[in-house]
């Protein structure tokens, strides 16, 4: 790992927000695991415990992170990591120590994307832990485990692309509030497009595939074709966001 990447990783993992967020997520996951199996809650939440409990619980809980909550969490973290550092004149500091702009941005992106993937894995760990505490070995049913692992990995890819998108937004707007506003607009557009009946638009929309994996193929194996298309579209978006961030960084005046 390059020294600048190490420096940013060190800085990122000192953010208290991360620990508070995952403590809350663990609490929510724990309570869900223990509450949804009571008849009263089943009725109240209108859910089928036979469906969402046991080996399906980690997949059921995944949607609480991969989507609005996870994206907004990433937005807050990345605006602190990029926009606020820019505002406090800290973003340009490595440039005063012989680092190039592209190396600086690559280091930021490397830390941000690793963090996005790590957080998805962390949610998997939390959900499996709480599910194991509630249902024991039953949560590790091999077929469901393979299926859920694939979904977590695809969600990791999606969250990485979203992270690249937020990074590009931060670099282009250089403003915390503008980035948050654009992220909210993205979330609104995402739900609009995913619920729409325009197949072409859906096929080129990055958020559509996660929606497909989490809801259309809920508790089912994802067909290879759908996974392949999704990964290709996400990779294209990721590349576009990555290039945008690097190009914009070259032209930034500090």
Q: Which is nearer to another protein, 103 or 178 (CB)?
A: 103
DSSP string, 105-119: HHHHHHHHHHHHHHH
**234 closest CA partner among 152, 168, 161:** 161
Q: How far is the CB of 83 from another protein (least distance, A)?
A: 14
Q: Which is nearer to another protein, 148 or 176 (CB)?
A: 176
To another protein, the closest distance from the beta carbon of 23 in angstroms equals 19
- Exposure string (b/e) for 58-70, b if CB count within 10 Å is 16 or more? bbbbbbbbbbebb
Query: Do residues 248 and 171 lie in contact, with contact meaning Cβ atoms separated by under 8 Å?
Result: yes
Least distance from C-beta 22 to another protein, angstroms? Answer: 19
- Cβ proximity to another protein, 6 vs 203, nearer residue: 6
> What does the alpha-carbon distance between residue 94 and residue 194 come to, in Å, rounded to a whole number?
41
Q: Which CB sits closer to another protein, 14 or 225? A: 14
Residues 190 and 204: beta-carbon distance below 8 Å: no
Angle between helices 101-135 and 224-250 (to 10 degrees): 140
Q: Smallest gap, in angstroms, from Cβ of residue 124 to another protein? A: 30
User: Is there a contact between 51 and 219 (Cβ–Cβ < 8 Å)?
Assistant: yes
First to last CA, the chain: 26
**Nearer residue to another protein within complex by CB, 3 or 136:** 3
| Lookup: tokens for 158 | 């999606």
Q: Residue 12 and residue 73: Cα distance in Å, rounded?
A: 13
The set of residues, in sequence order, having a beta carbon less than 8 Å from that of 48 and lying 6+ positions away, is: 42
Residues that bind another protein (CB under 8 A): 3-4, 6-7, 10-11, 14, 88-90, 92-100, 103, 251, 253-254
CB of 171 to another protein, least distance (A): 15
Residue 3 Cβ vs another protein, minimum distance, rounded to whole Å: 5
Residue whose CB is less far from another protein, 5 or 68? 5
């Amino acid at each position: 790992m390059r020294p600048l990447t190490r420096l940013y990783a060190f800085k990122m993992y000192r953010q208290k927000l991360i620990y508070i967020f995952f403590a809350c997520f663990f609490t929510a996951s724990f309570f869900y695991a223990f509450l949804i199996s009571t008849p009263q809650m089943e009725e109240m939440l209108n859910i089928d415990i036979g469906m969402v409990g046991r080996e399906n619980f980690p997949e059921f809980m995944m949607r609480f992170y991969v989507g609005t909550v996870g994206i907004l969490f990433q937005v807050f973290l990345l605006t602190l990591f990029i926009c606020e550092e820019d505002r406090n004149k800290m973003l340009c500091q490595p440039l005063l120590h012989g680092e190039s702009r592209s190396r600086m941005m690559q280091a930021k992106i490397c830390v941000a994307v690793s963090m996005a993937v790590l957080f998805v894995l962390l949610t998997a760990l939390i959900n499996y832990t709480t599910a194991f505490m509630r249902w024991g070995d039953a949560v590790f049913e091999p077929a469901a485990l393979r299926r859920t692992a694939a979904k977590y990995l695809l969600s990791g890819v999606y969250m990485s692309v979203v992270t690249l998108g937020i990074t590009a937004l931060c670099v282009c707007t250089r403003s915390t509030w503008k980035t948050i506003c654009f992220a909210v607009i993205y979330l609104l557009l995402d739900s609009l497009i995913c619920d729409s009946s325009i197949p072409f638009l859906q096929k080129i929309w990055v958020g559509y595939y996660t929606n497909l994996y989490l809801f259309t193929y809920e508790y089912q194996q994802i067909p290879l074709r759908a996974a392949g298309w999704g990964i290709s579209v996400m990779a294209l978006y990721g590349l576009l966001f990555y290039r945008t961030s690097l190009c914009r960084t070259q032209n930034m005046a500090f």
